[in-house]
A and B are shown apart, each in its own frame.
Chain A
Amino acid sequence: MIEARDLAKSFDARVDGKRARIVAVEQVSLDAADGRITALLGPNGAGKTTTLRIIGTLVRADRGSARVGGIDVLADPRSVRAQLGALSDARGLYTRLTGRENVAYYAELRQVPRAEFDARLAMLAELLDMESLLDRRTEGFSTGERMKVALARALIHDPQHLVLDEPTNGLDVVSTRALRRLLLHLRDAGKCIVISSHIMQEVEQLADEIVIVAQGRTVAHGSADSIRAQAGTASLEDAFVRLAYESGHESRAEGRK
């Protein structure tokens, strides 16, 4: 169970060489239940990555609260991290280590027993179709190959909660299918899964719950059907465009009053 209530976050960043205040998240809420795949759907720059970083304890929210498995992310970040498997925006590997060594590093940091590590890696390697990657150094891996290793690394401790930031970015069809297979497998095992995406078809195929985020705000949530009904459109894409762009502007304007 992952809950986020009215999250807000802004920070200074360099824009065109000058420091500027950036409002990344203004008011985002979401509820992700166990045994469900919840998708954060929104255009680029909507605040999806920052929301996931707040849940992953890397970023402190200015306002609002987030809980993972009932634990507040600010109160006990280490316990939150312990039960979280995260694929972050940055998913770099150590290029001088093999795929197996990359995963083993995280397994050791999370104190996964050796036997459990072997069994778990074998299972993940089969599901992700990556046996051939394990004993090669990761230097020169393709995007898909890198993502598979990063995903195995994030899941090696069998976390109850998964937070995956744009997991299909740069993947080919075969890899996307492998990922989808894995996520459905984990969902059926009762895991709580949150993914972010800006690709409609992917979300429609995969997600049980959809949270539409636009310009730092949650503008709609529910199943694909209920969102279509809410927007009064026949396709999810039309609903998304209407909710994310049209009502997004309205609610942002309201928020500024």
Chain B
Amino acid sequence: MSAAWTVFRKELKDAIRDRRTWLIVLVSSMLAGPLSLLLLSTFISSVEESAARREVYLVGGSSAPTLVNFLERAGSNVKDAPADYREQIKSGRLQNAVIVVPADFESKLAAGESIRLDVVHDDTATKAQPAVRSAIAALRGFNRELGMQRLLARGVSPQLLTPLEIDEVNLASSQSRGAQLLFLVPWLALLGAVVGAISVAIDVTAGERERGSLEPLLMNPVTTGSLVLGKWSVVALCSAAVVVLTLIGFRAAMLLVRSERLAALMQFGIAESALFIAMLLPFSAMVAALNMLAATYGRSHKEAQTYASYITMVVNFAPIVPLFLSIRDAAWQLFVPAIAQQTVMMRGLRGEAVTAIDVLLPGAIALAVTAIALLAQARLLRNERIVFAR
């Protein structure tokens, strides 16, 4: 045990003096997380603004005072559309719909004839969609109001026209709508765990052999188990440090977030942070051990990098698989590392209940994989073929 402690302190000093360690810690945790969150929030708040402004653009609004009056009563801010509105919508400068009113609007209205209105918009402009929807909804409101007045004037109950009364009840709580975008948060934290482990893991295994210090190290009267344990502690610590810094980055970004809606949607308070830490620390332990094991097989730094990158790839893609297959929370997910962590953290973000099993089972599996990987590595270091890279 004292040998493992010695190895830990030496490897920690070595890693701290390595410029690469700091580059990875700073770039991955301090930039990647908050930056992506800020992008998301900018996106959300601009959607929010265009809906909040409730602007309705009309062409030929002066020929339809009844419609303008209705829209203004409903709280819309009616504006004349610019002359080149088609180009502006296409190029994305105008993030809204434009309602084209015919010149004979009022006369047709008075005659009780049907009036054709064009609503010009771009389906692919995601940010404009809330505004487009509210413009169309406003027109439907006008339809309904006028229709009802006409029926009543003729002594017919408007209920005859609406046998179905449709009320949308959206079960996605406001938190859960936010979590659709925020799948990025646990995913980036998982990636942070791998990225934090990878370079140190290679340095203490393949790097040790490549610089010719493995052979003399193994001639010390200590077990390979304590060497592996000491080295792994440093790799796991680096991985956990990147995770914690990434989470701190998210918290900091939350404070900078402009959108109140995002702040309300995304639950990332103390409880969620604690859940994330509880899910991610065993995960860090596991990826540290696996990266070291993979890198031990590498005959050189470069070969080790190739093997370790397989692990990165798996961790990259595994959490996305259930998303693509639109599987939601099946029991098996708790048994598969990376997917389990992603699933449970997403539940936390969505504000759903997280049970003790949800935390303990993936954690126990990660720690079991860690133990197996460390034992395997201690054995490998007693294998001449590995030590001398034959």
Whether A134 is near chain B, meaning CB under 8 Å from some CB there, is: no
Contact indicator A92/B387 (Cβ below 8 Å):
no
Contact indicator B221/A58 (Cβ below 8 Å):
no
Contact indicator A57/B219 (Cβ below 8 Å):
yes
Contact indicator B6/A105 (Cβ below 8 Å):
yes
Question: Which residues of A are found within 8 Å of B256, using beta-carbon distances?
Answer: none
Contact indicator A91/B216 (Cβ below 8 Å):
yes
Question: Which residues of A are found within 8 Å of B17, using beta-carbon distances?
Answer: 96-97
Question: Which residues of B are found within 8 Å of A92, using beta-carbon distances?
Answer: 211-214, 216
Question: Which residues of A are found within 8 Å of B387, using beta-carbon distances?
Answer: 58
Whether B215 is near chain A, meaning CB under 8 Å from some CB there, is: yes
Whether A60 is near chain B, meaning CB under 8 Å from some CB there, is: yes
Question: Which residues of B are found within 8 Å of A58, using beta-carbon distances?
Answer: 215, 218-219, 384, 387
Complex alpha-carbon distance, A191 and B308, angstroms: 45
Closest chain-B Cβ to A136's Cβ sits at a distance in Å of 13
Known: A12-B390, A58-B387. A88 touches B219 (CB 8 A): yes
Question: Which residues of A are found within 8 Å of B215, using beta-carbon distances?
Answer: 58, 88-90
Q: Produce 1/0 per residue, A83-109, CB < 8 A to B.
A: 010111111111111000100011011
Question: Which residues of B are found within 8 Å of A78, using beta-carbon distances?
Answer: 221-223
Question: Which residues of A are found within 8 Å of B212, using beta-carbon distances?
Answer: 90-92
Question: B390 is contacted by which of A11, A87, A96, A97 (Cβ under 8 Å)?
Answer: A11
Whether B326 is near chain A, meaning CB under 8 Å from some CB there, is: no
Q: Which residue of A lies closest to B3 (CB)?
A: A109
Question: A13 is contacted by which of B13, B218, B220, B390 (Cβ under 8 Å)?
Answer: B390
Known: A86-B219, A153-B216. A59 touches B2 (CB 8 A): no
Whether A81 is near chain B, meaning CB under 8 Å from some CB there, is: yes
Q: Which residue of B lies closest to A93 (CB)?
A: B213
Contact indicator A90/B214 (Cβ below 8 Å):
yes
Question: Which residues of A are found within 8 Å of B211, using beta-carbon distances?
Answer: 92-95
Closest chain-B Cβ to A60's Cβ sits at a distance in Å of 7
Whether A82 is near chain B, meaning CB under 8 Å from some CB there, is: yes
Which residues 376-390 in B have Cβ within 8 Å of A in the complex?
384-385, 387, 390
Whether B123 is near chain A, meaning CB under 8 Å from some CB there, is: no
Whether A79 is near chain B, meaning CB under 8 Å from some CB there, is: yes
Question: A97 is contacted by which of B14, B220, B385 (Cβ under 8 Å)?
Answer: B14
Question: B221 is contacted by which of A11, A14, A82, A108 (Cβ under 8 Å)?
Answer: A82
Q: Produce 1/0 per residue, A190-226, CB < 8 A to B.
A: 0000000000000000000000000000000000000
Question: A90 is contacted by which of B6, B213, B223 (Cβ under 8 Å)?
Answer: B213
Contact indicator B219/A105 (Cβ below 8 Å):
no
Whether B18 is near chain A, meaning CB under 8 Å from some CB there, is: yes
Q: Produce 1/0 per residue, B345-386, CB < 8 A to A.
A: 000000000000000000000000000000000000000110
Q: Which residue of A lies closest to B211 (CB)?
A: A92
Whether B133 is near chain A, meaning CB under 8 Å from some CB there, is: no
Whether B10 is near chain A, meaning CB under 8 Å from some CB there, is: yes
Question: Which residues of A are found within 8 Å of B385, using beta-carbon distances?
Answer: 11-12
Contact indicator A88/B222 (Cβ below 8 Å):
no
Question: Which residues of B are found within 8 Å of A111, using beta-carbon distances?
Answer: 2
Complex alpha-carbon distance, A197 and B196, angstroms: 44
Q: Produce 1/0 per residue, A102-129, CB < 8 A to B.
A: 0001101111000000000000000000
Complex alpha-carbon distance, A59 and B387, angstroms: 10
Whether A248 is near chain B, meaning CB under 8 Å from some CB there, is: no
Question: Which residues of A are found within 8 Å of B223, using beta-carbon distances?
Answer: 78
Whether A42 is near chain B, meaning CB under 8 Å from some CB there, is: no
Whether A154 is near chain B, meaning CB under 8 Å from some CB there, is: yes
Contact indicator B218/A109 (Cβ below 8 Å):
no
Whether A47 is near chain B, meaning CB under 8 Å from some CB there, is: no
Contact indicator A94/B220 (Cβ below 8 Å):
no
Closest chain-A Cβ to B93's Cβ sits at a distance in Å of 54
Complex alpha-carbon distance, A110 and B222, angstroms: 8
Closest chain-B Cβ to A92's Cβ sits at a distance in Å of 3
Contact indicator A86/B6 (Cβ below 8 Å):
no
Closest chain-B Cβ to A82's Cβ sits at a distance in Å of 4
Contact indicator B384/A109 (Cβ below 8 Å):
no
Closest chain-B Cβ to A149's Cβ sits at a distance in Å of 11
Question: Which residues of A are found within 8 Å of B13, using beta-carbon distances?
Answer: 96-97, 101
Closest chain-B Cβ to A69's Cβ sits at a distance in Å of 13
Q: Produce 1/0 per residue, B220-261, CB < 8 A to A.
A: 111100000000000000000000000000000000000000
Q: Produce 1/0 per residue, A8-42, CB < 8 A to B.
A: 00011110000000000000000000000000000
Whether A243 is near chain B, meaning CB under 8 Å from some CB there, is: no
Whether A56 is near chain B, meaning CB under 8 Å from some CB there, is: yes
Contact indicator B384/A60 (Cβ below 8 Å):
yes
Q: Which residue of B lies closest to A12 (CB)?
A: B390
Known: A14-B390, A59-B384, A60-B384. A81 touches B220 (CB 8 A): yes
Complex alpha-carbon distance, A84 and B216, angstroms: 11
For the complex of A and B, the 3 pairs showing the least CB-CB separation, nearest first, are A92-B212, A90-B212, A92-B213
Q: Other than A14-B390, A89-B215, A101-B10, give 13 A-B pairs with Cβ distance below 8 A.
A: A12-B385, A12-B390, A56-B219, A58-B384, A78-B221, A78-B222, A81-B219, A82-B221, A90-B216, A93-B213, A96-B17, A105-B6, A106-B216
Interface residues of B (CB under 8 A from A): 2-3, 6-7, 10, 13-14, 17-18, 211-216, 218-223, 384-385, 387, 390
20 A-B residue pairs with Cβ-Cβ distance under 8 Å, sorted by A, are: A11-B384, A11-B385, A12-B390, A14-B390, A58-B215, A78-B221, A81-B219, A84-B219, A86-B219, A88-B216, A89-B215, A90-B213, A90-B214, A94-B10, A94-B14, A96-B14, A96-B18, A105-B6, A106-B216, A109-B221
